[in-house]
């Protein structure tokens, strides 16, 4: 399934490259990244313009720290297609240069920096290609049956590993060869579907191969015979696997358990594989939460990794540990640091690490000294850094804000001074006015200070009265940070003359673990009061019309909207819920990750002796549906296996039976997220048509 999904997405992502004329600096003038005169005259963000943003990804720095290679994807909404290509840019700054006219993604420098490897489906299945920097045509170096998903060079050279799906379970047709037209899934374990794909009888495995004469040699499956995924489903994040710098070891994350255990546990471990003798060792045995993202020190004697402590709790604190390969000793480095760590990168001298951490709804670069355990924040400001790569005296990374899609910046390691290197969407910002963003602190009902972002329409006039939207965040534990979303875009809402009130309510990270953890077992409790504290405080402003308030949200935010619909005391005049939980009881046995509902609900609905579970199920939105009296738009995707579409259908049917004005948007080819260009544009049009009907 992973290869099938990858192949289908590549057809969609890369097909329109055939019609694009490549230039050094970017797309040809007739490519859809260019704004029309009508769009420029409008001067505001629209769904169509949102799909003209260039999307930067996979930022990689050359071994000599002089050059950046990155991917850039542009979309053509008229055809539902897009084009991804690779570009080079000096770390010192300057014009980007097209690396190759091929459709390509996942760039990686060879260890000596002379070539760049990448993935492409140019010849059919996804394979590895290489091109010399600045000269020559790309050369295909792999010919793997059915293609691959990922790869990484060994820092020591001459080898690489690649990720490929390996079929390991019997299909119904193989079991009953006389019934080739039978169409059935025979299921005898849990985790038969996960987020957006069904079990497909195969598993993601790591293969190690040498490079001989410009081609991959014979490969070894290091999980041969093991029916487990690495990287972990459902994200298959390649950063969960890493080479040692001497090429001797590969460390990888895996949940080596049967599918039913997989559905009820978060206990992933990190395994150390010896490339020379094939021995494998579990280095986190006995650590019962998620253990992931191993990174070897420059001297190859230590491994840094992220670790969660609590079994079954997927949003626990991401702690920084180091493991000594020789002694087996582990050290908890970030003890006392009440924040998560991510994107670990060793300093060149091996005496410390750089990492990204969230603080007060922003994401910043940090460093830690191993000997003293002193942690220093390097960057400050209202922004999110989303990736980290070292380049000598600088850190290079992707940076975004609520008013800026990801661009590449470099940061001085000592001073924290930032320099913007890429300007992919300058043509849009030069012609489209973005709304201003304000940070407010609002008192909650229990006298806590809560950060609330307020986003104002372009050309905001404080003498006018505007309708306002309470934005309910998903997750449930995902910060309302300085993200730029291509779905739930605050600037899009502001461009339609709405003021957005976006609270970092209870249960959101970057405000300490107590604030983050409080929500578990209390879905209908304090965090709902936090929502109402935010909107009640802001509606006092003379420029907000308290008679024109709406509430919108997706996932946990969609649940929040369903809950508020039965408990809002006439505050709101319109609701929009996307892929929300409506009925806790049916959700418990219909979702894929049972560990999630076990932790957040407190257990199963049939466990009558469990006080936490009883309290949780009593707050299910369907218990309050008799109070619904406000128009509601409900949205879902048929392939959402995380919060199955039946939850949205239950809510819609209930609303119609109660005589509440309601509309259902049902996308047969979308998942938990609406990602195809024309589906997304339709989503936006229906979204604002609904709000305009009831709030303007």
**Catalytic residue numbers?**
555, 640, 672
> For the chain, how far is it from start to end, CA to CA, in angstroms?
46
Residue 95 · residue 87 · CB < 8 Å: no
CB 613 within 8 A of CB 603: yes
Structural contact between residues 368 and 345, judged by C-beta atoms closer than 8 angstroms: no
Q: Which residues pair with 119 in a beta bridge?
A: 105, 128
Q: Exposed (0-12), middle (13-18) or buried (19+): which is 318, by Cβ within 10 Å?
A: buried
Enter the tokens of residue 77: 């909404």
Query: Exposure of 543 by Cβ count < 10 A (0-12 exposed, 13-18 middle, 19+ buried)?
Result: middle
The values of phi and psi at residue 561, to 5°, are -65, -45
Q: Report the candidate in 220, 206, 203 with the shortest Cα–Cα distance to residue 168.
A: 203
Give the residues across from 90 on adjacent strands: 67
Query: Percent helix, strand and coil across the chain, each rounded to 5?
Result: 20, 30, 50
Residue count of the chain: 696
Asked whether the bond before 476 is cis by omega within 30 degrees of 0, the reply is: yes
d(CA 29, CA 26): 9
Q: How far apart are CA 80 and CA 133, in angstroms?
A: 32
> What angle separates helix 526-538 from helix 556-565, to the nearest 10 degrees?
80
Instruction: Compute φ and ψ for 544, nearest 5 degrees.
Output: -110, 125
The pairing of beta strand 97-98 with beta strand 105-109: unpaired
Q: In the 3-class helix/strand/coil scheme, how is 173-191 assigned residue by residue?
A: HHHCCCCCCCCCCCCCCCC
The angle subtended at Cα 507 by Cα 503 and Cα 512, nearest 5°, is 95
Backbone angles phi, psi at 348, to 5 degrees: -60, -30
Say whether the peptide bond before residue 234 is cis (omega within 30 degrees of 0): yes
Question: How many angstroms separate the Cα of 223 from the Cα of each of 71, 210, 508, 652?
Answer: 30, 17, 37, 46
């Amino acid at each position: 399934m992973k290869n099938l999904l990858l192949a289908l997405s590549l057809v969609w992502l890369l097909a329109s490259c055939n019609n694009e004329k490549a230039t050094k600096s970017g797309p040809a003038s007739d490519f859809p990244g260019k704004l029309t005169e009508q769009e420029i005259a409008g001067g505001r963000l629209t769904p169509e313009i949102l799909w003209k943003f260039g999307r930067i990804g996979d930022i990689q720095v050359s071994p000599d720290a002089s050059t950046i290679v990155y991917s850039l994807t542009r979309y053509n909404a008229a055809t539902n297609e897009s084009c991804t290509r690779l570009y080079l840019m000096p770390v010192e700054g300057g014009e980007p240069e097209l690396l190759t006219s091929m459709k390509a993604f996942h760039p990686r420098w060879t260890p000596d920096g002379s070539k760049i490897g990448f993935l492409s489906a140019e010849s059919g299945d996804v394979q590895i290609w290489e091109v010399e920097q600045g000269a020559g045509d790309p050369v295909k170096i792999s010919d793997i049956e059915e293609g691959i998903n990922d790869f990484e060079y060994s820092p020591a050279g001459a080898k690489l590993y690649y990720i490929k799906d390996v079929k390991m379970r019997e299909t119904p047709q193989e079991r009953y060869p006389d019934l080739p037209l039978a169409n059935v899934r025979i299921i005898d374990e849990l985790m038969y579907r996960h987020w957006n794909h069904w079990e497909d009888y195969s598993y993601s495995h790591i293969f190690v191969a040498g490079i001989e004469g410009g081609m991959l040699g014979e490969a070894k499956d290091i999980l041969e015979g093991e029916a487990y995924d690495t990287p972990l489903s459902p994200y298959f994040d390649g950063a969960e696997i890493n080479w040692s710098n001497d090429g001797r070891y590969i460390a990888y994350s895996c949940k080596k358990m049967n599918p039913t255990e997989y559905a009820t546990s978060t206990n992933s471990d990190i395994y150390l594989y010896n490339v020379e003798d094939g021995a494998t060792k579990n280095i986190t045995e006995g650590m019962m939460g998620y253990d992931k993202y191993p990174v070897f020190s420059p001297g190859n004697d230590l491994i840094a990794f992220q670790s969660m402590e609590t079994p079954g709790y997927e949003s626990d604190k991401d702690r920084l540990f180091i493991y000594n390969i020789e002694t087996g000793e582990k050290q908890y480095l970030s003890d006392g640091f009440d924040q998560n760590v991510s994107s670990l990168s060793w300093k060149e001298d091996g005496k410390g690490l750089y990492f990204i951490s969230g603080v007060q709804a922003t994401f910043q670069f940090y460093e830690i000294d191993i000997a003293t355990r002193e942690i220093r924040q390097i960057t400050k400001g209202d922004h999110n850094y989303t990736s980290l790569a070292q380049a000598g005296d600088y850190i290079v990374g992707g940076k975004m804000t609520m008013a800026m899609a990801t661009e590449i910046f470099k940061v001085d390691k000592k001073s924290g001074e930032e320099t913007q290197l890429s300007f992919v969407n300058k043509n849009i910002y030069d012609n489209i006015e973005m709304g201003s963003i304000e940070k407010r602190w609002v008192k909650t009902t229990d006298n806590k200070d809560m950060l609330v972002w307020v986003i104002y329409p372009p050309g905001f006039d404080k003498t006018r009265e505007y309708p306002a939207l309470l934005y309910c965040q998903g997750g449930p534990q995902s910060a309302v940070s300085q993200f730029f979303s291509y779905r739930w875009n605050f600037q899009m809402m502001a461009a339609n003359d709405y003021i957005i009130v976006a609270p970092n309510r209870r249960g959101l990270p970057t405000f300490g673990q107590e604030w983050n953890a409080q929500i578990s077992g209390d879905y209908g409790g304090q965090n709902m009061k936090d929502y109402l504290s935010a909107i009640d405080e802001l509606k006092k402003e003379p420029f907000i019309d308290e008679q024109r308030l709406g509430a919108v949200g997706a996932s946990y935010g969609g649940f929040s909207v369903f809950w508020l619909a039965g408990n809002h005391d006439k505050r709101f005049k319109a609701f929009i819920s996307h892929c929300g939980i409506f009925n806790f009881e049916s959700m418990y046995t219909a979702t894929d990750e049972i560990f999630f509902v076990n932790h957040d609900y407190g257990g199963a609905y049939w466990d009558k002796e469990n006080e936490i579970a009883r309290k949780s199920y009593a707050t299910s939105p369907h218990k309050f549906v008799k109070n619904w009296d406000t128009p509601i738009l409900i949205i879902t995707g048929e392939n959402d296996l995380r919060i199955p579409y039946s939850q949205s259908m239950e809510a819609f049917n209930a609303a119609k039976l109660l005589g509440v004005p309601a509309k259902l948007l049902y996308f047969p080819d979308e998942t938990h997220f609406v990602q195809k260009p024309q589906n997304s544009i339709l989503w936006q049009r229906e979204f604002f048509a609904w709000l305009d009907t009831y709030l303007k």
